[in-house]
Chains A and B, each alone.
Chain A
Amino acid sequence: MKKLLLSTTALLFALAIGPAFAQETIVVGTDVDAGTLDSRLTRDTTAYRVADLIYSGLVHITPQLEVVPDLAESWETPDPQTFIFKLRDGLKFSDGTPLTADDVVYTYTTLLNPDFNAPMRTLYTPIQSVEKVDDLTVKFSLDAPYAPLLSYLDLGIVPQELAEGGHDIATQPVGAGPMKLTSWNRGAEIALEANPEYWGGAPQIEKVTLKIIPDNSARAQAFEAGDLDVIQSPLSPQDISRLAGDDRFGNAIMPGLGVTYINFNTKDPLLSDPKMRQAFSMLVDQQTIVSDIYQDVDKVASSVLLPSSWAYSPDIKQPTFNIEGAVALFNELGWTDSNGDGILDKDGNKLTVTLATHSEDPNRVQTIEFLQTMFSQAGVDAKTQITDWPSFSTNYVQKSQHQIALLGWLNIVDPDRLLFSQLTTGGSTNWGGYSNPKVDELLQKGRSSLDQQERAAAYQEAAKILAEELPYFIVSYQGYQLFYDKELPTEVTATPRGYLRGLIGMEN
């Protein structure tokens, strides 16, 4: 018995000191499993983050959203429609095979093929052709000048030979990034290790494991219990304030690259008049939504331009919360409470509107319910419709069947990403049917000029019009949060995109 006790004690001791040896492994908690790890087909945050470690692109985007060289050593633009990239010498994939211009051409050609069904294909459609000049030189030719292109060229380059030879890149990815995949236990964890073939040398941290914990609260608790070294957005606002107050943990809390916004269906008879949209916008109490529902993790938004962007201007302002003003505007448009039932009406019709969002995000559901109350205080009979994402997106908003819908856009690395497809006439994601020739012209100018000042001026002018006509009412700028164990061996740098190179001893 005594012997058993002794060995058990020794065993517990061994278990207790176990983690000390595994210090070079960083365990990151994440909310969903990656769908595919083919860099061209990634479509969820986990896949983006893992692909950023496994692959390298021509360029890298810094936390300040600057474009810096990665696989490409340098590039030139002889004319606004041509980009020529010079690759670094001696690049290799993690399996040791060389990476050449052929792989770059292959990656972009397949991505642009409509039958390949790449989710992000729209971002690259202005590319007319990608050609190899020599083994280390690639030429991109565009249909029209397209300034945001560089921000999207961090797309991971895949090995042509492997991919064409039937190797399944989606489940066994091979790239030229700082880490490589060691194992992927679906639904549980993704394990990575340092890639010695990386052009910048193997990173300081030897191993990174991403553990998939779908429940936000459970993930925060697992972090507090020490099972995880790092967690990041999405997190519940309540958990964020608790973790921020815990001095065992370091944090990076910064503005993110997403917005939460109201999409007005400008084709709906009730909402086709910009004044109606203004009146409804004035019923959105942004301050209360941000401080009470989002616990100040997100910030009150003032226009379609993000404060972190070079295009931002504090002078552009959407309407602010003002119930009386909204009611006055409704009255001006002929909506009055003529029968004294507390609800505005016009020509015998009640002012009825449907507020919709999706059920996955409890904060959005709460926001919609709060808006319903504010609307009814102003005499608007507001109904709510809350369904899960597939129903909400496919069968409702994307079919323009909504009136007022609350949703979001992410990864706004360039103003073009939030505006062009969404708000130009006939744009592929212009679900509200908004159309204004002046805005079309400005957004076109914004994407075709290569001069940042000129671009900023175009976007600011467009933003000013949008703040009055309101096809979108931006409710809040989303925040990004990262929490980490202070005992981590490396200096942690964070990026609003949530990428992880800043955790493994690299500059992000």
Chain B
Amino acid sequence: MIAYLIRRLLLFIPMAMGMVVVTFGLLLIIPGDPASVLLGQEASPEAIERLRDSLGLNDPWYVRLWDYFASLLSGDLGTSIFQNQPVATIILGRLGATIELAIAALVIATVLGLAMGVVSAMRQGSIIDTITMIFAQLGVSMPVYWLSLLLMLAFAVQLGWLPAIGRGMPLPEAFWAAITGRPQALIESLSHLLLPALALSATPAAIISRLTRTSMLEMLREDFVRTAYAKGLRRPRVIIRHVLRNALLPVLSVIGLRFGMLLGGAVLTESIFAWPGLGQLTITAISQRDLPLIQGIVLTFALIFALVNLLVDLLYAAVDPRVRLG
């Protein structure tokens, strides 16, 4: 088990190197360089050239790539061209917000998705089933961008129940504040979190509900279910202990994969709700061609993605006795 873990973690190194090279290549191909963005329209060509030189943009690509690897090995992600701060500092300052949003969205999506999936499977063909599946269809097909604006219009502008934009105190701190007697901090944090998390959860909730439904329906027809009923077990027990537990296996891996997708979805949601996370940062970094920052963000996303996948594999082994890691 430990050997497996170590092997998986070591595998991350070549993967990360691959990511760096691919990102680097893409950034070489796309036109436009940070020097001219940094200096603006009014700068003279000489000024731009001078800045290119001092940023090292005029060096051959292999020199730049090598420099980047060399600094990576010494644990340095470089310095953002535009913010003039270490990339690691910038990313760490934003990472919490994105993870908080992604986890909140995943929790909402899992609860909603499982509930809808189970109910519609149990009542297959009923009106509830139809309604739930219409919702699921909508959830998959609605663009996050549009849904976000719609939610904001309804709950912030029209009803005025929730704040339209921004983030409260980070959740862990807010929980602590609530314990130490300032519950309003927690309420504020949650009220800021709710809309973006809801918008972000729509697609994964829809996918999880459809998958749960299919998987449940399959299990319900299995022999062991009939056996369970024949043994005289009650329906709730059969559903929960036998059907659901087995039906959840494929759902689990999808939930894990979805977490990675959520990071992507967060890019749009964050810039609409002014959520100060990595997604918003990504858009800015790309539009400014802030090369070290883009590299850093891609690496961070890759690392998170890999860790979540590893976690899912471990969970899989824990839930499904047929899976052995080694």
Show the binding face of A for B, using Cβ within 8 Å. Answer: 11, 14-15, 32-33, 35-36, 43, 114-115, 117, 119-123, 168, 170-171, 185-189, 211-215, 217-219, 221-222, 224-227, 360, 387-396, 398, 409, 421, 428-429
Contacts and interface: CB of A to CB of B under 8 A. Distances in A.
Interface stretch (B114-122, B238-246, B252-260, B280-288): B280-288
Given A33-B284, A187-B94, A215-B271, 5 more contacts: A114-B47, A122-B47, A360-B287, A428-B43, A428-B45
B219 interface: no
B42 A421 contact: yes
Contacts of B164: 218, 221-222, 225, 227
B32 A394 contact: yes
Interface in B86-101: 90, 93-94
B287 A117 contact: no
Chain B CB within 10 Å — which of A11, A15, A214 has the most? A214
Contact of A187 (B44, B187, B280): B280
B32 A214 contact: no
B284 A398 contact: no
Nearest to A27: B166
19 contacts: A14-B184, A35-B83, A117-B38, A117-B47, A120-B40, A120-B42, A188-B166, A188-B274, A189-B166, A215-B271, A219-B165, A221-B149, A227-B164, A387-B31, A389-B287, A391-B31, A393-B37, A395-B32, A428-B43
Contact of B32 (A33, A215, A393): A393
Contact of B45 (A222, A392, A398): A398
A43 B188 CA distance: 34
A188 B167 contact: yes
A395 B29 CA distance: 12
Contacts of A211: 165-166, 274
A356 B66 CA distance: 36
Nearest to B161: A225
Given A221-B152, A226-B160, A227-B164, A114 B274 contact: no
Contact of B271 (A170, A185, A214): A214
Contacts of B50: 114-115, 117
Chain B contact-residue range equals 35 or more
A394 B33 contact: yes
A122 B149 contact: no
Nearest to B286: A388
Nearest to B90: A186
Contacts of B272: 215, 218
Contacts of A429: 41-44
A187 B82 CA distance: 13
Given A390-B287, A398-B36, A119 B43 contact: yes
Contacts of A227: 156, 163-166
B274 A391 contact: no
B153 interface: yes
Nearest to A214: B271
Nearest to B160: A225
Interface string B158-188: 0010011111000000000000000110011
Given A114-B50, A115-B50, A187-B94, A214 B283 contact: yes
A212 B280 CA distance: 10
Nearest to A390: B32
Contacts of B273: 218
B157 interface: yes
A218 B152 CA distance: 8
A188 B40 contact: no
Nearest to A397: B41
A115 to B, nearest CB: 7
B141 interface: no
Contacts of A122: 42-44, 47
A186 B276 contact: yes
Contacts of B153: 221
Contacts of B103: none
Contacts of B36: 390, 393-394, 398
B213 interface: no
Contacts of A187: 94, 276-277, 280-281, 284
B85 A221 contact: no
A394 B31 contact: yes
Contacts of A171: 84-85
A119 B160 contact: no
A389 B37 contact: yes
A119 B40 contact: yes
A212 B33 CA distance: 25
Contacts of A120: 40, 42
Contacts of A214: 271, 274, 280, 283-284
Chain A CB within 10 Å — which of B90, B165, B284 has the most? B165
A390 B284 contact: no
B54 interface: yes
Given A185-B276, A390-B31, A119 B165 contact: no
Contacts of A186: 83, 90, 93-94, 276
A398 B187 CA distance: 51
A226 B155 CA distance: 12
B40 A388 contact: no
Contacts of A117: 38-39, 47, 50-51, 54
Chain B CB within 10 Å — which of A11, A33, A117, A393 has the most? A117
Contact of B284 (A11, A32, A168, A226): A32
A403 to B, nearest CB: 18
Nearest to A411: B42
Chain B CB within 10 Å — which of A14, A187, A393, A429 has the most? A187
B210 interface: no
Contact of B38 (A33, A119, A219): A119
Contacts of A43: 38-40
A373 B135 CA distance: 41
Contacts of A33: 284
A211 B167 CA distance: 11
B32 A389 contact: yes
B3 interface: no
A214 B83 CA distance: 17
A222 B165 contact: yes
B30 interface: yes
Contacts of B82: 35-36
B169 to A, nearest CB: 12
Contacts of A213: 165, 274
A391 B32 contact: yes
B292 to A, nearest CB: 15
A14 B183 CA distance: 12
A170 B39 contact: no
A392 B283 CA distance: 17
Contacts of B32: 388-395
Given A215-B272, A388-B287, A429-B42, A221 B280 contact: no
A387 B31 CA distance: 10
A290 to B, nearest CB: 23
A392 B30 CA distance: 11
